[in-house]
A = this chain, B = another copy of it.
Amino acid sequence: MSGTRNITAALRRARVPRPRFAIRTVQSITPLTTRTFSASSTRNSDSRQIKFTSDAYPNLKRNPNFAEISAEDVTHFKELLGSQSAVIDGVTTDATDDIEPFNSDWMRKYRGHTRLVLKPQNAQEVSKVLKYCNERKLAVVPQGGNTGLVGGSVPVFDEIVINTSRMNQIRSFDAASGVLVADAGVILETADQYLAEREHLFPLDLGAKGSCHIGGNVSTNAGGLRLLRYGSLHGSVLGLEAVLPDGTIVDALSTLRKNNTGYDLKQLFIGSEGTIGLVTAVSIQCPPRPKAVNVAYFGLESFEQVQQAYLAAKGQLSEILSAFELMDGRSQKLVIESTGNKHPLEGEYPFYCLVETSGSNAEHDMAKLESFLESVMGDGIVADGVLAQDETQFQALWRWREGITESLSHLGGTYKYDVSIPLADLYLLVEDCKARLTEKGLVGDDDSFPVRAVVGYGHMGDSNLHLNVAVRQYSKEVEKAIEPWVYEWIQKRQGSISAEHGLGVAKREFIGYSQNETMVKLMKQLKNLYDPNGIMNPYKYI
């Protein structure tokens, strides 16, 4: 078969036992519908069917210290932002249809009661808005692409939405240093395409790239698909511009790789989910775009073998390894059901992995990959696999990983748990959760069972699992069966109850499972320092 020559030759040379299935190239993959998802799917459907967060979380009460938005406030904001498109006014007009998309999330899980959306165009406008809100004690929710998974970017009650979509300019890029400076509202994929034309790469990639904003990525400390190669945003973000609740503009938009002049305050805005300030621009270190990228997709018989494959990849692919993703058999069946696409492997396996290499020399990378494949197939670690031969196949293989989230979203609802667990126990959580729900009689194929499927996938290279419980509809019964059991399970293993999705509304009350009392106290002290009136993204985070 074309494209398999090198690998089989290598296997022959090494006289390793013939694997059960030869590596084949991807011939018959139909591209999935889209690599990205967006809030537009929510916008087009009737979001009024979504349960209000205030009903789903009856323990959340509107803070009586917050003012109610008045017609005068709206007039003030209209004058201040000076543009028709900058204010969506549901206070003095009936703008429900226009407002609703900003009130609810794409998962159809969280829904607020806002009647006002503001879209400032720069830090100065944000400053004026926040200063006014702080003085008037009007609560606000910063919102980027609204692609989050924990309800962090939509209101709970009548908080004003401050949306970053009109701050969407790339400010500068320096090819010598690789430093990009861009507004918070630039869409991640737009930034990456801009960099691609300049032979560089945005050091973050994730499924929602077509919709999410880089300001939101930084505010939530997004991890994504290639963290094991390019590191966390705490390392790659060089500077940022943000506005504090009192209107203070924090101009820390340094483009220097090294700057040891005082406390690195920008770090506080990375991952603070808009609770101490609103990020308006970001300066970030971008690596040269790899000249060669390869993707392989494997089927494996056990999680033990997945671990062996990962350690082999870490050792042998080393500096060119750019992703090592895990998908369980159930997750891939969901993608098949949702898209109707033909699966790249013929047999069925309980586990699948996607391995990506990125490097500067195609020949060297292929040699390393061949040697790795030879080793994992020769040792019987991998049962079957395919290797992408061109960009289309590359994209198609990735969609088997990136498409899981969207496939799940078609099923009704999903309880999502994004957790860090020591590698050896990573998949055990899925098995234990499934056993628990099955034992309680909650899982089944017909519509009388609330749970459709318990699915696990994630970033093996970061010890980061996404446990997803797909339900026909959200119910307290299922939720109570999972929580706090799942958090206790993670706490026992010193894991994190939120690896990369953040806290938002969903994980707020569970922070104690991953942070001790002292840490929570220190966090509250910090929140109080920057936001004494508590107007920034209330009812969430800590």
CA distance A360 to B371 in the complex (A): 12
CA distance A522 to B242 in the complex (A): 13
CA distance A502 to B262 in the complex (A): 8
Q: A315-B288, A519-B251 are in contact. Are A221 and B272 (CB under 8 A)?
A: no
User: A215: CB under 8 A from chain B?
Assistant: no
User: A271: CB under 8 A from chain B?
Assistant: yes
In contact, A264 and B234 (Cβ under 8 angstroms): yes
CB under 8 Å from chain B, chain A span 391-430: 420, 422-424
Which residues from B are CB-within-8-Å of A263? 268, 271-272, 276, 523, 526-527, 542
Which residues from B are CB-within-8-Å of A368? 360-361, 364
In contact, A258 and B462 (Cβ under 8 angstroms): yes
Chain A's interface size range is 35 or more
CA distance A368 to B364 in the complex (A): 9
Stretch from A9-17, A102-110, A204-212, A509-517 at the B interface: A509-517
Chain multiplicity (copies)? 2
In contact, B318 and A257 (Cβ under 8 angstroms): no
CA distance A385 to B260 in the complex (A): 34
Q: A270-B264, A318-B360, A529-B525 are in contact. Are A177 and B423 (CB under 8 A)?
A: yes
In contact, B498 and A261 (Cβ under 8 angstroms): yes
In contact, A462 and B248 (Cβ under 8 angstroms): no
Which residues from B are CB-within-8-Å of A518? 248-251
User: A302: CB under 8 A from chain B?
Assistant: no
Which residues from B are CB-within-8-Å of A526? 263, 265, 529
In contact, A258 and B319 (Cβ under 8 angstroms): no
Which residue of B has the minimal Cβ distance to A229?
B319
CB under 8 Å from chain B, chain A span 204-259: 220-221, 223, 227-228, 231-232, 234-236, 248-252, 254-259
Pairs A-B, 10 closest by C-beta atoms: A235-B235, A318-B360, A267-B267, A258-B499, A259-B496, A364-B364, A256-B420, A261-B514, A231-B235, A319-B319
Instruction: Show the binding face of A for B, using Cβ within 8 Å.
Output: 174, 176-177, 220-221, 223, 227-228, 231-232, 234-236, 248-252, 254-265, 267-268, 270-272, 276, 288, 290-291, 307, 311, 314-320, 358-361, 364, 367-368, 420, 422-424, 459, 462-464, 494-503, 507, 511, 514-516, 518-520, 522-523, 525-527, 529, 541-542
